[in-house]
């Protein structure tokens, strides 16, 4: 089993002070920094792109875990790699040629992830398993922070865990993760937990530290 990782999503941070927020969650004990990139096309919301990632890169030396909710994704992979992302995750639903997208990420020297919406069956990753560093299972429909966890995804986590076998692949979950839901996803086999609203609630660095500790303790 792989180490448990907590990856706060800066989607729930104060965007007017983004660099300070990244530095604060770094100091508060974040393992990875989760970056939600949305295009208003694949998902019904728009966030930020490579220039913002580049601007905050200096605020933390932790792993930048970039979740691309953009369609198409291939034309932008190089820009996100150059901006300083360490893990680049694409949605299986947002690329016509998933194998090609994953090869492109690896060719840029980055870790490659694939994300699946709650309704997407896990079989889509069967023939690309050997190209993967991470599988990101959405536990909400992507687009917004603060949505309710979808419990049906727990079965999918367990199936993906079985498919992966002893390959060194992280299973990440994203959406509605809190001290209440974290034990369920970890029991099912997830090891990387994205949390936005549950980490940033309260709004101060002391809250971030306590909020992450509460998830870890759970």
Distance CA 3, CA 170 (A): 9
Q: What is the DSSP letter of 59?
A: T
Q: Are 205 and 28 in contact (CB under 8 A)?
A: yes
- 143 lies in the binding site for ligand DX5 (CB under 6 A): yes
Distance CA 102, CA 170 (A): 15
Is residue 99 annotated as a catalytic residue, yes or no?
no
- 197 lies in the binding site for ligand DX5 (CB under 6 A): yes
Minimum distance between the CB of residue 130 and ligand DX5, rounded to whole angstroms? 26
Is residue 14 annotated as a catalytic residue, yes or no?
no
- 146 lies in the binding site for ligand DX5 (CB under 6 A): yes
Stretch that binds Zn ion, among 37-45, 59-67, 144-152, 158-166 (CB under 5 A): 59-67
Burial of 162 (0-12, 13-18, 19+ CB in 10 A): exposed
Enter the tokens of residue 49.
Answer: 């792109």
Which residues bind to ligand DX5, rule: CB under 6 A? 9, 11-12, 34, 36, 67, 140, 142-143, 145-147, 174-177, 194-198
Q: Which residues are documented as binding site for substrate?
A: 9, 67, 143-146, 174-176, 196-197
């Amino acid at each position: 089993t792989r180490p448990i990782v907590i990856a706060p999503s800066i989607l729930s941070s104060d965007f007017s002070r983004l660099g300070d927020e990244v530095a604060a969650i770094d100091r508060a004990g974040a393992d990875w920094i989760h970056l939600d990139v949305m295009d208003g096309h694949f998902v019904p919301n728009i966030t930020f792109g490579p220039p913002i990632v580049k601007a905050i890169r200096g605020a933390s030396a932790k792993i930048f875990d970039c979740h691309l909710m953009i369609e198409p994704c291939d034309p932008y992979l190089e820009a996100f790699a150059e901006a300083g992302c360490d893990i680049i995750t694409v949605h299986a639903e947002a690329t016509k040629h998933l194998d090609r997208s994953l090869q492109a990420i690896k060719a840029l020297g980055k870790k490659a992830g694939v994300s699946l919406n709650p309704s997407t069956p896990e079989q889509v990753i069967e023939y690309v398993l050997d190209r993967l560093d991470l599988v990101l299972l959405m536990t909400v429909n992507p687009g917004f922070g603060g949505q309710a966890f979808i419990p049906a995804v727990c079965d999918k986590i367990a199936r993906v865990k079985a498919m992966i076998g002893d390959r060194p692949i992280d299973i990440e979950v994203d959406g509605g993760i809190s001290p209440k839901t974290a034990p369920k996803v970890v029991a099912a086999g997830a090891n990387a937990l994205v949390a936005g609203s549950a980490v940033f609630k309260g709004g101060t660095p002391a809250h971030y530290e306590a909020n992450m500790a509460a998830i870890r303790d759970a």
